[in-house]
Amino acid sequence: PAVIRRVDYQPFGWLVPRLELDFQLGLTDTRVAATLHVERNPAATPTGQIRLNGEGLAPLEVTVDGQPTSLWRMAGDDLVLDLPGTAHTIGLVTRIDPAANTQLSGLYASGGMLCTQCEAEGFRRITFFPDRPDVLSIYSVRMSGDADAFPVLLSNGNLTARGDNGDGTHWAEWHDPWPKPSYLFALVAGRLVANRDTFTTRSGRKVDLAIYVREAGAGEEDDLPRTAHAMASLKRSMTWDEEQFGREYDLDTFNIVAVSDFNAGAMENKGLNVFNTKYVLADEETATDGDFDAVEGVIAHEYFHNWSGNRVTCRDWFQLSLKEGFTVLRDQLFSQDMGSAPVKRIEDVRVLRGAQFPEDSGPLAHPIRPDEYREISNFYTATVYNKGAEVIRMMRVMAGEERFRAGCDLYFDRHDGEAATCEDFVKAIEDGAGLDLNQFRLWYAQAGTPRVTVRLDHAGDVATLHLAQVVPPTPGQPDKRPMPIPLKVALFDRASGIHAGEQLVVLDRAQQSFSFPGFATRPVLSINRGFTAPVSIEHAAPVEDLVFLAARDDDPFARYEAMQELVVGHLKDVVDGKLSASERDAGRAAIAGALAAVIADPALDDLMRGELLILPSQTYIAEQMLIADPGTIHHERQALRGALARALEGEFVALHQRASAVPGGLNAAARGARKVKTQALVYLAEGNPDLAEQMAAAQYDAADTMTDRQGALMVLAGLKGPQRTHKLLDFYQRYRSNPLVVDKWFGLQAGSLHPHAIEHVKALATHPDFNLKNPNRVRSLYMVFAANPAAFHAEDGEGYRMLADLIIALDPVNPQTAARFVPPLGRWRRIEPRRAALMRAELERIAATPGLSRDTAEQVGRSLG
């Protein structure tokens, strides 16, 4: 399969200013008539042909200017048509079978309804079209279908007409006045019910809002009441974007539809967002506090795309981070404003380190603006999304909030209605914010997480900060240039415990030193405060400095960071066999002391306390080592947890009791209490399993929220006592008719610390509720399993075999989702040699499977490469 390269970009030869679509809907047979109004693109080389992309389509009728024509041919999946003049009307008819579409790309059926997913290249599975984001058209859509099966008929824009055909079928017409690329097209038809509301924009436009869910069938739950949080989140997003970015909504209607079979989280189709039910439905009985936050964040993200993505879209898919990185930053800033800003920042950094850093240091590393791909679906990555957001966040740090805003305003003004590039964005920030980003552009081009080595010298009354950066080699990029790295730093006076103000230093050379006078004694360094740069800091800070910062840094992120460093440094030494038994015990005692201070600190709210209690993840610890032994890391991490729990048993029990007495609700205090409650159980489970079992069972029984119930069950799932079986059974029976909660039930077992977790996963794969065709269900079992170190990295390679078997079985059904399971196996080069060989062998077995999809073949090829 062909490699697509960024440098090969050419404007398309034709413009398609208008497109009319006519759908005759049926679950197994939908007829699509498309009318393309095309004219020569003055910006492109003149051509007498047009190439229309298709995938798995056969043209049933082809006309030009109303006349049947034979001047067309198939070129692979594409249709190539001769066009002699400068402007024509092309008519095309295709037929598709939505029920047979298990890839969930294009038009497909889900639970009796019809819906679409076109990004990135699904539109070509519906009709022949120049399926690329720089071809923008005004869409008019007509659809007709059975009035009983499809009482609700939706598409982008505004409803312009509807009627009854008198034969049991009916029709609707939708018109979207805003030109858009084909990837933003959407159609939904089905038996849906809506939660309706309105929003008035600041210029006075009244917008009708609706969140649609499938009407409940017999034995199904009514999801409508579970959309209230999503609706409230949507209205908050609309207000926030007006206030913080000056962006107003631009249609009279905004519709959201929740679908349970969905490859991604959600999709920002113009005026008709389609969502995975997971990111719409939430109530306290069935969704955790984390789920509530995820719904709010994803609702905001898709809504914000209306400007960053839809009004200004991408010229080509190499520019994906233009809309995704920017929109992730926007949703992160929104969530920071809606809840606890420091806690949100910590969560976002945890995601970056857990998902993006490993990507950047592995075989799939790519710049946030990639240079080449075979299958674009493989580039919806943590790098493009999360590192992309960090790169724009750095510009914001360097410019300051106001000037950054001026740059964003200029970007939206300058490129409204256009398909833009990452370069356009950087230039607008440069011009609007008055910032020189010449060297900064390297962040778009170079992959790999920079390593910044830090040394603090002290002589006389001057402290000198010596910084050095290395951007590691990545596939296809052996040599790197130094990049500008903005680091917020503070130097604490040891005695008074305060600092004289935070400063921003920008490291833009391979090595650089910065002097800070006025320190009679050696200060304590706090660096990369707020995580201003997505880099890894290598600083051999003395343990007493980390303890100092963990207890009193006024930057909450830095405080969290010191706590993590304390633990990571210790575990690294333990795993490397560097510590004697007494040194190890001294290390544990230092950590226990810091934890005790965190538990007792009255100045901390519980949400933040909960963050400070979280041990660094297995992935993050493994990332710090060139070659990791997952078994040893897991063992030592658990052993440390057990030692801490034994040292602080009284504290954890008291914390649990104190938090259990906090009244419920969705406020920060109640949420914080729930967070530390389960944290306490997680520790106790390792130190005193019998006590933890009893406390977790009691928390489960007393739970009036899913947060408490799931937290308790998570702990029980890892224990061997009888309560495990009782509560897992109870949970299933209680929630078996709620698919999203059944997903949790699968996930809790797949991710558990139980020594037989691998057997449990095997058994669950044959459970009647397991379903290869539903991506949420597949992920709830196998993605969680692949992230469960003890189970997935079983010494005999059984975990690797199971994941490879899944990929091979899933690939013909849903290649996009199948390819997402490759990266965990692709980490083999960073794993100790015995396991590495087993992982590699599984990748080779997948590679040798006949008929592998482009999606999976690309990921496996790069992983072996």
Tokens of residue 549, six digits: 């910062």
Helix (H, G, I), strand (E, B) or coil at 497: coil
Provide the minimum distance between the beta carbon of 420 and ligand B3K in the complex, in angstroms, as a whole number.
Answer: 16
The order of strands in the sheet holding 462-470 is 511-517, 462-470, 451-459, 536-539
Shortest CA distance to 489 belongs to which of 510, 509, 470, 463?
A: 463
Provide the minimum distance between the beta carbon of 277 and ligand B3K in the complex, in angstroms, as a whole number.
Answer: 15
Provide the minimum distance between the beta carbon of 813 and ligand B3K in the complex, in angstroms, as a whole number.
Answer: 16
Query: Which positions ≥6 away from 204 have C-beta within 8 Å?
Result: none
Provide the minimum distance between the beta carbon of 235 and Zn ion in the complex, in angstroms, as a whole number.
Answer: 20
Angle at which helices 649-660 and 689-702 pack, to 10 degrees? 0
DSSP-assigned states of every residue in 41-82: -TTS---SEEEEB-SS---SEEEETTEE---EEEETTEEEEE
The residues that touch Zn ion, with contacts defined as CB under 5 A, are: 324, 327
For residue 629, state whether it binds ligand B3K (rule: CB under 6 A). Answer: no
Classify each residue of 741-763 as buried b or exposed e, where b means 16 or more C-beta atoms within 10 Å of its C-beta: bbbbbbbbbbbbbbeebbebbee
For the purposes of burial, counting CB atoms within 10 Å of the CB of 294, is it exposed (0-12), middle (13-18) or buried (19 or more)? middle
Helix (H, G, I), strand (E, B) or coil at 90: strand
Provide the minimum distance between the beta carbon of 379 and Zn ion in the complex, in angstroms, as a whole number.
Answer: 13
For residue 302, state whether it binds ligand B3K (rule: CB under 6 A). Answer: yes
CA distances from 396 to 312, 320, 393, 429, 859 (A): 20, 20, 5, 9, 34
Q: Which residues pair with 831 in a beta bridge?
A: 628
Please give the residues from 472 up to 531 whose contact with ligand B3K meets the rule CB under 6 A.
none
- Residue 220 CB coordination number (10 Å): 13
Phi, psi at residue 76, to the nearest 5°? 65, -130
For residue 55, state whether it binds ligand B3K (rule: CB under 6 A). Answer: no
- From the candidates 173, 296, 302, 561, which is the catalytic residue? 302
Shortest CA distance to 849 belongs to which of 861, 834, 838, 862?
A: 861
Q: Site mask, ligand B3K, residues 650-669, x = CB under 6 A?
A: --------------------
CB distance 72 to 62 below 8 Å? yes
Residue count of the chain, please give it.
Answer: 865
* Block residue for tokens 């209490």: 673
Nearer to ligand B3K, 116 or 227 (CB): 116
Task: State whether the Cα torsion 806-807-812-813 is positive or negative.
Answer: positive
Nearer to ligand B3K, 120 or 659 (CB): 120
* CA gap 90, 56 in Å, rounded: 20
Nearer to ligand B3K, 780 or 814 (CB): 814
CA distances from 835 to 628, 662, 832 (A): 10, 46, 6
Rg (CA), the chain: 28
Task: State whether the Cα torsion 515-520-521-525 is positive or negative.
Answer: negative
Provide the minimum distance between the beta carbon of 263 and Zn ion in the complex, in angstroms, as a whole number.
Answer: 13
Please indicate whether residue 119 is annotated as part of the active site: no
Nearer to ligand B3K, 267 or 757 (CB): 267
Nearer to Zn ion, 327 or 361 (CB): 327
Which does residue 415 bind out of ligand B3K, Zn ion, none, counting CB within 5 to 8 angstroms by kind?
none
Which does residue 264 bind out of ligand B3K, Zn ion, none, counting CB within 5 to 8 angstroms by kind?
ligand B3K
Nearer to Zn ion, 327 or 817 (CB): 327
Among 324, 331, 390, 708, binds ligand B3K (CB under 6 A): 324
Provide the minimum distance between the beta carbon of 456 and Zn ion in the complex, in angstroms, as a whole number.
Answer: 40
Please give the residues from 107 up to 136 whose contact with ligand B3K meets the rule CB under 6 A.
119-120
Q: How many amino acids of this chain bind ligand B3K (CB under 6 A)?
A: 12
Which does residue 120 bind out of ligand B3K, Zn ion, none, counting CB within 5 to 8 angstroms by kind?
ligand B3K
Nearer to Zn ion, 325 or 569 (CB): 325
DSSP letter assigned to residue 525: E
Phi, psi at residue 617, to the nearest 5°? -70, 160
Q: Site mask, ligand B3K, residues 357-396, x = CB under 6 A?
A: --------------------x--x----------------
Tokens of residue 405, six digits: 């805003």
* CA gap 785, 764 in Å, rounded: 11
Which does residue 223 bind out of ligand B3K, Zn ion, none, counting CB within 5 to 8 angstroms by kind?
none
Please give the residues from 236 up to 275 whose contact with ligand B3K meets the rule CB under 6 A.
264, 266-268
Provide the minimum distance between the beta carbon of 275 and ligand B3K in the complex, in angstroms, as a whole number.
Answer: 10
Shortest CA distance to 211 belongs to which of 139, 288, 143, 295?
A: 295
Provide the minimum distance between the beta carbon of 359 and ligand B3K in the complex, in angstroms, as a whole number.
Answer: 16
Provide the minimum distance between the beta carbon of 747 and Zn ion in the complex, in angstroms, as a whole number.
Answer: 24
Provide the minimum distance between the beta carbon of 172 and ligand B3K in the complex, in angstroms, as a whole number.
Answer: 25
* CA gap 490, 504 in Å, rounded: 9
Nearer to ligand B3K, 301 or 637 (CB): 301
Nearer to ligand B3K, 331 or 430 (CB): 331
Tokens of residue 366, six digits: 């790519």
Provide the minimum distance between the beta carbon of 196 and ligand B3K in the complex, in angstroms, as a whole number.
Answer: 24
For residue 860, state whether it binds ligand B3K (rule: CB under 6 A). Answer: no
Please give the residues from 326 up to 345 whose contact with ligand B3K meets the rule CB under 6 A.
none
Nearer to Zn ion, 324 or 842 (CB): 324
CB distance 160 to 175 below 8 Å? yes
Which does residue 620 bind out of Zn ion, ligand B3K, none, counting CB within 5 to 8 angstroms by kind?
none
Instruction: Measure the CA dihedral 184/349/744/797, to 10°.
Output: 100
Among 88, 301, 760, 820, binds ligand B3K (CB under 6 A): 301
For residue 467, state whether it binds ligand B3K (rule: CB under 6 A). Answer: no
Which does residue 670 bind out of ligand B3K, Zn ion, none, counting CB within 5 to 8 angstroms by kind?
none
Nearer to ligand B3K, 381 or 618 (CB): 381
Which does residue 779 bind out of ligand B3K, Zn ion, none, counting CB within 5 to 8 angstroms by kind?
none
Nearer to ligand B3K, 268 or 708 (CB): 268
Provide the minimum distance between the beta carbon of 634 and ligand B3K in the complex, in angstroms, as a whole number.
Answer: 32
CA distances from 607 to 14, 651, 664, 802 (A): 55, 17, 14, 37
Query: Which positions ≥6 away from 42 have C-beta within 8 Å?
Result: none
* CA gap 800, 808 in Å, rounded: 12
Q: How many Cα atoms within 13 Å fall on the side-chain side of residue 285? A: 7
Nearer to ligand B3K, 105 or 752 (CB): 105
Which does residue 377 bind out of ligand B3K, Zn ion, none, counting CB within 5 to 8 angstroms by kind?
ligand B3K
Site of interaction with ligand B3K (CB under 6 A): 119-120, 264, 266-268, 301-302, 305, 324, 377, 380
* Residues identified as active-site: 302
